[in-house]
Amino acid sequence: CIDIAKLPKETGCFTYDPGFGATASCKSAITYIDGDAGVLLYRGYPIEQLAEKSNFLEVAYLLMNGELPTSGEFARFEHEVTHHSMMHEAFRTFLYGFRHDAHPMAMMTGMLGSLSAFYHNSLNIEDPEQRRLAAIRLIAKMPTIAAACHRYSIGWPIRYPRNNLEYTTRFLHMMNEVPSEPLELNPVAAKAMDLLFILHADHEQNASTSTVRLVGSTGANPYVSVAAGVAALWGPAHGGANEAVLKMLAEIGRPENVQSAVDKAKDKESGFRLMGFGHRVYKNFDPRAKIIRAMTHKVLGELGVNDPLLEVALKLEEAALKDDYFVQRKLYPNVDFYSGIIYKALGIPVEMFTVMFAIARTAGWVSHWLEQQNDPENRIGRPRQIYTGAATRDFVGIGAR
Ligand code: ACO
């Protein structure tokens, strides 16, 4: 056992840990996961309690600041977020430069990075107030940018954010097809969306958050750091899984086809995995999946939606959980297994599913970025490698090769 405190920074000890399954890259006080017990805490608060009693913006405040806000603090935070939700008008020109049928995540990556071209003051990351403002801007503008990307991709005019709506309802209003009045917006839909945002808000050092931290460790500004996080999230092994789950369920199509999908996923040669199953940390169950599973029935019932894909999903879960392959490898449904069915019921198009995840995870990304900037132990992230290439050899001129 080594006393870490006594070791110099470079110890001569070298670990090879592909995928960083056993390597902590930082200390963090934001989110705690016990993968064996299926526990997830934001700043010490169980996800189940936050899901039941809180709202997304309050959770965002908690993640950023470490404590739940008083009513005065929450009112100020909500006011600030609301008043930073507009996009700079020149963003339109930038957005309209994308191909009309571009994937929204492709547009999001570019749009987020370009924020650093619009908000020069917050490029001064030495100033704590500018850091805080940048975090607020990101949380505030993310839904506006997301809705604009969606509307552009389907040829609708962009809708401005309404200050008299609260965070999630404002987003639904910007997305909405029909020019509905706020009162006509469905409270069930807003509550369901808000709950999904809470469940996706943070998850310690997942691939996208680690990416944000790696970019942030170089001193790069928060906008490009978060843009890099959006890019990492897009992959189907990470946030892209929610889109992939729905496509998979649609391909399976009927409960009778479930068993052959399970068999195919067990066959390594097939290259097919059950999307929405398995997790690097949860080896018991994903507590978020439990909450979403229960919520899916409720939301579909309340919205009066009868989606045959829910039956396929339930059958798939049942078949996989009975199968030795999945049991031995501790592969359980993760947060994304059911979230797509809810998004679909809310009228969110499949290509926007990962964007939904990105809106929520922005709260976590900016909280980690802020924590990192305040961390005296923060150094540039610079993993090492095990070299497997050629030994030293002499250069041969092109004519002699
Ligand atoms: N279907 C079939 N087999 C699987 C699955 C799956 N979904 N997931 C893992 N396995 C198998 C692997 O083939 C491997 O088998 P082996 O031991 O015989 O070689 C074993 O389970 C362990 O899998 P790894 O890939 O080593 O696990 P890792 O921790 O690296 O990956 C991951 C975790 C990426 C989530 C993986 O389970 C997966 O690809 N799942 C499907 C995609 C998905 O749902 N991603 C969302 C993750 S949650 C999130 O980001 C919000």
Residue 199: CA count within 13 A, CB half-sphere: 25
Decide if 349 contacts 150 (C-beta within 8 A): yes
The partner residues of 31 in beta bridges, in order of sequence, read: 42
Residue 139: its pLDDT value, please? 98
Higher pLDDT among residues 3 and 309, named by residue: 309
360 lines ligand 1 (CB under 6 A): no
Which listed residue (150, 279, 286, 368) is catalytic?
279
Band of pLDDT at residue 346, cut at 50, 70 and 90? confident
87 Cβ neighbours under 8 A, 6+ residues apart: 141, 144, 145, 148
For residue 279, indicate whether it is catalytic: yes
Decide if 141 contacts 116 (C-beta within 8 A): no
d(CA 60, ligand 1 centre) in Å: 29
- Read off the pLDDT of each residue in 90-116 and give the average, rounded to a whole number: 92
User: How far lies 90's CA from each of 96, 100, 227, in Å?
Assistant: 10, 18, 19
- Return the best residue to mutate from 272, 334, 338, 354 for the ligand 1 pocket (most ligand atoms within 8 A of CB): 334
245 lines ligand 1 (CB under 6 A): no
pTM as predicted: 0.91
361-371 burial: b if 16+ Cβ within 10 Å, else e: bbbbbbbbbbb
d(CA 278, ligand 1 centre) in Å: 5
| CA–CA dist 342, 361 (Å, integer) | 18
User: What is the average pLDDT score of the chain?
Assistant: 91
Band of pLDDT at residue 190, cut at 50, 70 and 90? confident
Residue 255: its pLDDT value, please? 93
Whether 183 shows a pLDDT value over 50: the answer reads: no
320 lines ligand 1 (CB under 6 A): no
45 Cβ neighbours under 8 A, 6+ residues apart: 62, 68
Whether 55 shows a pLDDT value over 50: the answer reads: yes
pLDDT digits (tens, 9 = 90+) for 63-87: 999 999 999 999 999 999 999 999 9
ipTM tops 0.90? yes
User: In which order are the strands placed within the sheet that holds 31-34?
Assistant: 31-34, 39-42, 45-46
Complete DSSP assignment for 53-90: H--HHHHHHHHHHSSPPPHHHHHHHHHHHHTT-PPPTT
d(CA 45, ligand 1 centre) in Å: 28
Residue 302: its pLDDT value, please? 86
Band of pLDDT at residue 304, cut at 50, 70 and 90? confident
d(CA 277, ligand 1 centre) in Å: 7
- Read off the pLDDT of each residue in 282-289 and give the average, rounded to a whole number: 89
The vertex-244 CA angle with 351 and 303, nearest 5°, equals 65
